[in-house]
Chain A
Amino acid sequence: GAVVSQHPSWVICKSGTSVKIECRSLDFQATTMFWYRQFPKQSLMLMATSNEGSKATYEQGVEKDKFLINHASLTLSTLTVTSAHPEDSSFYICSASGVGRNEKLFFGSGTQLSVL
């Protein structure tokens, strides 16, 4: 079946550095990709929705200049956390869907970010 690959699984970085997370759809064209964040013991929160070739739509309260999303191709979307701070430490997960809104949503395995 369809697979979404997310890398890296774990990343530890110093405060002030930038971290890039990749999300790839391996055997289907992902027209839409979603980025979520999950803090401990909380639910997944949608950060942004990206459609291939266009700018991402960010949820209220998510800083678009801090969380840069690029969806340049139908198989790759990236999330860059710029100038990361300890409060950005979280579990980030991407998901992708194919053509049509009734397509099933497939998830990456997530990235645990720890900012020291």
Chain B
Amino acid sequence: KQEVTQIPAALSVPEGENLVLNCSFTDSAIYNLQWFRQDPGKGLTSLLLIQSSQREQTSGRLNASLDKSSGRSTLYIAASQPGDSATYLCAVASNDMRFGAGTRLTVKP
């Protein structure tokens, strides 16, 4: 059974810092990996989708990498802003979709 772990559970940084969120998974036989953000009381917003054949995807200040063989993905956020404050979830698609517990990010002005 696929298990997805995210580290750290919470992260607080001053505005402007670059930061990295980590996601690891136990079964490397995946179809894709997706990063989401969740704002309190709201649904999920998809940020980046990496297919199993890809190594990274970029969107604006966000860059996600995937190392399938080692079961790891990172989400890099450049020049963080207070509006980036949210919970970030990674989800791994294999036979189903498994989520990590998320990293709660706070960017302080």
Contact = CB atoms under 8 A, between A and B. Distances in A.
A93 B44 contact: yes
Interface residues of B, number: 23
A101 B46 contact: no
Interface residues of A, number: 22
B77 to A, nearest CB: 20
Task: Provide the main secondary structure of the chain B interface.
Answer: strand
Contacts of B31: 101-102
A85 B43 CA distance: 23
Interface of B: 31-32, 34, 36, 41-46, 49, 51-52, 89, 91, 93, 96-102
B41 A107 contact: no
A95 B97 contact: yes
B89 A105 contact: no
Contacts of A54: none
A68 interface: no
Contacts of A95: 44, 97
Nearest to B99: A44
